[in-house]
């Protein structure tokens, strides 16, 4: 038995103003993927286009990637890429445009792949012709260094993670200046997404000695910096959060996650709530459930000691309150009528994905009971 680890692509570039590194990358045509407004409003898109055009590189911006990108959004991006013919792909923005761009990169390089066969085929491990740069503007997903792209399959009301090292960006740019315009609720939700990555990774049965310091360090750093990043938006705390969320991404990409993410992908795929918000609501109860496993209890005790707390689950709940995270999905705006109408499908979908590697086994009946607690408090 062996573990193969690919810790990111060719480089991780950090520091304020590091978005300027894009100007050093050789390219003739650059396809820029982004979200709706924020990267235009703060001048990032114009800055990237200017530095590329100054060196004679043609650019095309493909914007409008919304939260929870679906198969249709990816297919539209692939069509635009094929018409343009880029040799450089730049994804800038939150986790949604980054994930969409990763799937676009895969389908662009391998035209024989599509959403009709990508879940059933063995996927290639490398790209050959496209340089891929990812610059996140939120501090949560770790998508800039992972091999996964989470895409919503509308016909199944489910988010599904496509996974292959061919989707790892060649260069990850962690420029904290891109995060300074994040509103507080996005700081909170993406930060709790990163914490969930680090914690679920840390208690996963596949955690090993090589990756343990990354996951534990991410937990410590997020607890130390997320409250200040949320309250004050100070550049130092934003920069630290950007680094720690990336560390969590490097770790979970090789270890796996757990039931919190299984539930988040089911609920997000059906109702469209933000992924980080769902994880924040779910995490304390999932950790309580997993504490029936002795090794999980031991690891949570070690995490509690690392952050200077007596009980780790209590610390997570207290952090949620500091960040004004709702205590249930009902408080987050979901109606009982809508939940009841979709409940059986939600239970079925929540049993898939990351739930299959949850450290404590979970039955369908137990999942149904847990979901009712999470929805109605």
Q: pLDDT of 246-285, one tens digit each?
A: 999 999 999 999 999 999 999 999 998 999 999 999 999 9
Question: Do 287 and 215 belong to one domain?
Answer: yes
Count of domains in the chain? 2
Taking residues 154-168, report their average pLDDT.
92
Question: Do 284 and 317 belong to one domain?
Answer: yes
Q: Please indicate, yes or no, if residue 6 is contained in any of the structural domains.
A: no
Q: In what order do the strands lie in the sheet with 58-62?
A: 11-14, 171-174, 131-136, 88-93, 29-33, 58-62
Residue 2 above 70 pLDDT?
no
Q: pLDDT of 284-327, one tens digit each?
A: 999 999 999 999 999 999 999 999 999 999 999 999 999 999 99
322's torsion region: left (phi>0), alpha (psi -120 to 50) or beta?
Answer: alpha
Residue 6 above 80 pLDDT?
no
Inter-helix orientation angle 212-231/235-255, to 10° = 150
Contact predicate 65/107, CB 8 Å: no
- Residue 242 domain boundaries: 183-376
Instruction: Look up the CATH number of the domain holding residue 270.
Output: 1.20.1090.10
- Higher pLDDT pick, 46 / 3: 46
Taking residues 100-128, report their average pLDDT.
95
Backbone φ, ψ for residue 184 (5° rounding): -55, -40
Question: Do 248 and 352 belong to one domain?
Answer: yes
Confidence of residue 1 (pLDDT cuts 50, 70, 90): low
Question: Do 171 and 190 belong to one domain?
Answer: no
- For β-strands 131-136 and 171-174, DSSP reports them as parallel
Those residues with Cβ within 8 angstroms of residue 280's Cβ, 6 or more apart along the chain or in another chain: 188, 189, 192, 193, 196, 320, 323, 325
The CA distance from 29 to 41, in Å, is: 23
Question: Do 220 and 340 belong to one domain?
Answer: yes
The CA distance from 357 to 268, in Å, is: 19
Residue 370 above 60 pLDDT?
yes
Above pLDDT 90, what percent of the chain? 92
Those residues with Cβ within 8 angstroms of residue 142's Cβ, 6 or more apart along the chain or in another chain: 194, 197, 245, 246, 248, 249, 250, 252, 253
CB-CB neighbours of 109 under 10 Å: 19
Contact predicate 316/283, CB 8 Å: yes
């Amino acid at each position: 038995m062996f573990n193969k680890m690919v810790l990111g692509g060719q480089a991780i570039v950090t520091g304020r103003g590091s978005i300027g590194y894009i100007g050093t990358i050789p390219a003739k045509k650059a396809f820029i993927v982004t979200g709706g407004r924020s990267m235009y409003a703060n001048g990032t898109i114009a800055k990237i286009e200017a530095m590329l055009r100054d060196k004679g590189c043609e650019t095309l911006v493909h914007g409008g990637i919304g939260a929870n990108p679906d198969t249709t959004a990816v297919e539209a991006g692939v069509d635009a890429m094929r018409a343009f013919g880029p040799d450089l792909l730049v994804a800038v923005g939150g986790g949604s445009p980054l994930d969409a761009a990763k799937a676009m990169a895969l389908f662009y390089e391998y035209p024989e792949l599509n959403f009709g066969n990508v879940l059933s085929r063995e996927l290639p491990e490398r790209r050959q012709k496209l340089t891929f740069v990812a610059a996140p503007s939120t501090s949560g997903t770790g998508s800039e260094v992972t091999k996964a792209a989470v895409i919503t399959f509308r016909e199944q009301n489910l988010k599904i993670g496509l996974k292959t090292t061919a989707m790892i960006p060649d260069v990850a740019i962690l420029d904290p200046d891109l995060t300074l315009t994040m509103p507080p609720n996005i700081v909170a939700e993406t930060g709790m997404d990163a914490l969930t990555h680090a914690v679920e990774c840390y208690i996963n049965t596949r955690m090993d000695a090589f990756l343990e310091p990354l996951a534990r360090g991410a937990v410590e750093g997020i607890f130390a910096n997320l409250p200040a990043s949320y309250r004050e938006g100070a550049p130092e705390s934003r920069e630290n959060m950007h680094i720690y969320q990336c560390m969590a991404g490097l770790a979970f990409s090789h270890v796996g996650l757990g039931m919190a993410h299984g539930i988040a992908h089911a609920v997000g795929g059906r109702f469209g709530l933000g992924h980080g918000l769902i994880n924040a609501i779910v995490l304390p109860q999932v950790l309580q459930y997993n504490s029936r496993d002795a090794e999980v209890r031991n690891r949570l005790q070690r995490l509690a000691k690392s952050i200077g707390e007596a009980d780790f689950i209590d610390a997570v709940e207290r952090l949620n309150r500091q960040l004004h995270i709702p205590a249930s999905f009902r408080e987050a705006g979901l109606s009982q009528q809508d939940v009841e109408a979709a409940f059986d499908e939600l239970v079925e979908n929540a049993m898939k994905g990351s739930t299959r590697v949850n450290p404590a086994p979970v039955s369908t009946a137990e999942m149904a009971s847990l979901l009712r607690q999470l929805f109605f408090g």
